[in-house]
Amino acid sequence: MSRIGIIGTDGLALDLLTVLDDTLGTHYPSLATQEREDVIVTDDPWQATAAGLKACAVDEWVATTTASDFFAITEGNGKARQALSEIVKSSAARPLAMIHPTTEVRGNKWQDMGAVIGQYSFFCDVESIGQHFMCGAFTIFGPGTRVGNFVTAGHRVVCEANVIVEDNVTIEQSAVIAAGTAGTPLRIGTGATIKAGTFVTADVPAGALVAAPRKEHES
Amino acid sequence: MIVLGILGTGIAARTAMHTATHSLQLAHPGTDDEGFQVVFVSQKPGTSTLGGHDIMSAAEFCALEAETKYFNPAIADSRHRKQAATLMLHQGVSPLSLSDPSTLILPDVTMEPGWLLPYLNTLNSNVRIGKYFHAGVSTTVSHHNEIGDYVTFGHRVACSGNAIIEDHVTICTGAMVMQGKPDKPTRIGEGAVIHANAIVIGDVVPGAHMAGNPAKPVDPIQLFGGEPW
C-alpha cells in the first residue's frame, strides 16, 4: 500500500484533497486504482483533524516512509517550502504533482517535480517548471515561459509569453507579467516579489519588491 | 487535403495551433484527422517547423495545391491582422474561425467569421461581434455588447454589459470594462488601447491609451518608451 503525504495545510491543499481521486486519475492512473492512505503531514495536527484526515508529524513521516510513498508540499511561502523540501529529501518518498483536473496543459509537456496547481489554470507551450512550483486558480502561463524552483504564483496570475521566472520568486494575485520576445525574454530575478495586481513590463532585478502605485480614490 | 494556414508564428499563433483540429472538424464533420493539414504562414525566415507544423511564406501557401484552403490571422496587432487577412481574401482563401471546445457561446450571439477563441471564453447573450475578433484565455463578453471589427482582447479580459467597443480596440490582459446603461452604453472609441489590469468606468475617446483604476488617459511614450508591444 502506498501513502500520500500532503505536507502543510494550505487552503489550496484542502481544495485539492477534495478532488484527489480525480487528480490522481488524470495524472497518475496507476496510483488512483490501487489501495492508498492519505495523510496530512504537519506539526500542527489540529487543522488536519478538522478536515477529517489522519495527521502525521513531519519527523514521523520522514522516518516511516518507503519508496512506494509520495508527497506534495502545499506550503504557500516559497522559503518555507524550500525548507520543508530539504527536510523530506532524506526520506524515500517521491514528489507527487497535484495538478487540478480542470487545469489544461497544452503543447510542450514539462516535467513536473512536485508542482501544486489550482483549478482552471492554463499552460500553453511552457518550456519548464522547476521543483515544488505552486500556483493558485485561473493562472495563465504562455509560450516560452521558464519557471524556476520554489516559485509561488497567486490566483489569476498571467505570465504572457517568453518570461523567465527565476528561483524563489513570489508573484501575488492578479499580477500580470508582460510578454518578452524569444530573443530577449523578460526576466524576474531570484527572490523577487511582485505584489498583487501589478503589471510588470520590464526586467525585475534579483530580490526586488515590485508594487503598483497605491492611490487614494477621489470620489 | 484540407489545409489551414495560421498567419503568424508568434504567441497568438502558438496558442491558436491547439484549437485548429477541433475547428476544422466543426467545419468538415466526419473527416479524419489525416485529412487536415495545419501550416504556419510567416514572412520572417527562421526555423522551418513550429510545434510539428511547417512554416511557409505567403506565396508558398497561396501556391499550395489543396481541396480547400483556409486561413486564420493569429496576429495580435489589429492593423497587421487586417493587412494579412485582406491579402489572403484577395488570393481567394477563405477565413476559418478557431474556437476551443471549452468556449461557451450563449444563444443570440452574432459573429462575423475569422475569430480566435483559444480557451475558456464566454460570450453572453445579445452580443454582436465583428470580423477577426481575437481573444485571449478566459475572457468574458457580457450581454448587450457590440464589438467592432479587428478587436483584440488579452487574457482574462472582462467586458460587462451594455458596452460598445469600436473597431481596432485593444484591451490588454486583466483589464475590465464596467457596464453602461441600456440607453447610454459605455463606448470605447476606435483604436483605443486599455492597458493591463486597468478598469474602465466611462467612455473612452478614439485612440486613447488608458491605464489604472479608475482608468485615466496615459502617454504610452512616457510609460513604456513607446507602444507597449
Say what the pLDDT of residue A8 is.
Answer: 80
Mutate to test the interface with B, among A103, A171, A199, A200 (most CBs of B within 10 A): A199
Most distant pair of Cα atoms in chain A: their distance: 62
The domain defined by B2-97 folds into Rossmann fold (3.40.50)
Q: Min CA distance, A199 vs chain B (Å)?
A: 6
The full length of chain A comes to: 219
Please report which helix (H) or strand (E) contains residue B36, including its range: strand B36-41
Q: What are phi and psi of B5, to 5 degrees?
A: -100, 115
CA angle B184, B174, A187 (to 5 degrees): 150
- Which of B15, B102, B174 lies at the smallest CB-CB distance from A158? B174
B14 touches chain A (CB under 8 A): yes
- Grid coordinates representing B187 are 463606448
Mutate to test the interface with A, among B18, B44, B173 (most CBs of A within 10 A): B173
- Which of B11, B156, B174 lies at the smallest CB-CB distance from A161? B11
- Where, residue-wise, is CATH 3.40.50.20 in chain B? 2-97
Confidence category of residue A91, pLDDT binned at 50, 70, 90: confident
Say what the pLDDT of residue A173 is.
Answer: 94
Say what the pLDDT of residue A107 is.
Answer: 87
pLDDT in tens, B6-56: 999 888 898 899 999 999 999 999 998 899 999 999 877 667 888 889 999
Say what the pLDDT of residue B82 is.
Answer: 95
Q: Which residues in chain B have their CB less than 8 angstroms from residue A142's CB?
A: 11, 15
Confidence category of residue B224, pLDDT binned at 50, 70, 90: low
CA dihedral B66, B70, B72, B78 (to 10 degrees): 110
The angle, 0 to 180 degrees and rounded to 10, between the axes of the packed helices A20-27 and A11-18 is 80
- Where, residue-wise, is CATH 2.160.10.10 in chain B? 99-218
Say what the pLDDT of residue B182 is.
Answer: 93
pLDDT in tens, A33-65: 888 888 888 887 776 676 677 888 888 889 998
A72-91 core/surface letters (b: 16 or more CB in 10 A; e: else):
bbbbbebeebbebbeebeeb
Tell me the helices (H) and strands (E) count for chain A, helix number first.
Answer: 6, 22
Nearest-CA residue of chain A relative to B199?
A: A197
How many angstroms separate the CA atoms of A212 and A88, rounded?
37
- Grid coordinates representing B79 are 492593423
The domain defined by B99-218 folds into UDP N-Acetylglucosamine Acyltransferase; domain 1 (2.160.10)
- In this prediction the ipTM stands at 0.89
pLDDT, chain B, mean? 91
Say what the pLDDT of residue A219 is.
Answer: 52
| DSSP character string of A149-197 | TT-EE-TT-EE-SSEEE-TT-EE-TT-EEPP--SSS-EEE-TT-EE-TT
Does residue A3 register a pLDDT over 70? Answer: yes
Span A179-184, average pLDDT = 90
B74 touches chain A (CB under 8 A): no
Q: Which residues in chain B have their CB less than 8 angstroms from residue A183's CB?
A: none
* Alpha carbon separation from A106 to A79, A136, B19, B43, B118 (Å, rounded): 29, 18, 10, 26, 11
Q: Min CA distance, B50 vs chain A (Å)?
A: 11
How many angstroms separate the CA atoms of A93 and A197, rounded?
37
Say what the pLDDT of residue B190 is.
Answer: 96
Residues of A with CB under 8 A from a CB of B: 104, 106-107, 120, 122, 124-125, 138, 140, 142-144, 156, 158, 160-162, 174, 176, 178-179, 197-199, 201, 212
- Nearest Cα residue to B104 out of B83, B87, B125: B125
Span A137-165, average pLDDT = 95
